[in-house]
């Protein structure tokens, strides 16, 4: 089963994704996490992404899509996966559709978390940490 999970920061995407992971036994794929992993592991796309990020640029959709493709073809995704907050743009959605189609796959469900803006502010305010000491 392939799921896409959307929602603003603080909506509880991570919490809901973890529940789905534990229930369906499929991996949660966060583009931020796999992008950092690609950079850390010096993959060819990770090297490109690192150069762009170090120069202050945004990683282009083609690179992000390539990293997503590399991740979803791994063995742990054979029974499906959850895309957490991806795609973010129409070009990313089109690219994802092309990738999934080329693999004979499709999205089964899209889950959009809707939450009150005041609650988002309260939740995110509680996440603040000191950049010096980490508290």
Q: Token pair for residue 7?
A: 């929602």
- As a whole number of angstroms, the distance between CA 129 and CA 8 comes to 20
pLDDT value of residue 132: 78
Q: Say if residue 6's pLDDT is above 80.
A: yes
How is the chain split into domains, by residue range? Answer: 2-125
| pLDDT, the chain, mean | 90
d(CA 34, CA 67): 7
Residue carrying structure tokens 């000191």? 130
pLDDT of residue 128: 66
Among 39-43, 54-58, 131-135, the minimum mean pLDDT is found in: 131-135
Buried-exposed string 75-97: b where 16+ CB fall within 10 A, e elsewhere: eebeebbbbbbbbeeeebeebbe
Q: What is the pLDDT of residues 53-87, one digit of tens each?
A: 999 999 999 999 999 999 999 999 999 999 998 99
Q: Which CATH architecture has domain 2-125?
A: 3-Layer(aba) Sandwich (3.40)
Backbone angles phi, psi at 60, to 5 degrees: -65, 155
Question: Is the pLDDT at 12 greater than 90, yes or no?
Answer: no
User: How much is the CA Rg of the chain, to the nearest whole Å?
Assistant: 16
Residue 97 has pLDDT above 80, yes or no: yes
φ, ψ of residue 111 in degrees (nearest 5) = -115, 120
């Amino acid at each position: 089963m392939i799921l896409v999970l959307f929602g603003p920061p603080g909506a509880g995407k991570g919490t809901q994704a973890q529940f789905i992971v534990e229930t369906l036994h499929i991996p949660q794929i966060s583009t931020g996490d796999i992008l950092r992993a690609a950079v850390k592991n010096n993959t060819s796309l990770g090297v490109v992404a690192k150069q762009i990020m170090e120069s202050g640029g945004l990683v282009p959709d083609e690179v992000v899509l390539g990293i997503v493709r590399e991740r979803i073809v791994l063995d742990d995704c054979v029974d499906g996966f959850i895309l957490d907050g991806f795609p973010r743009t129409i070009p990313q959605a089109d690219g994802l559709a092309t990738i999934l189609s080329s693999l004979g796959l499709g999205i089964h469900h899209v889950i959009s978390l809707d939450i009150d803006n005041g609650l988002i502010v309260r939740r995110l305010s509680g996440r603040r940490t000191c950049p010096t000491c980490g508290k």
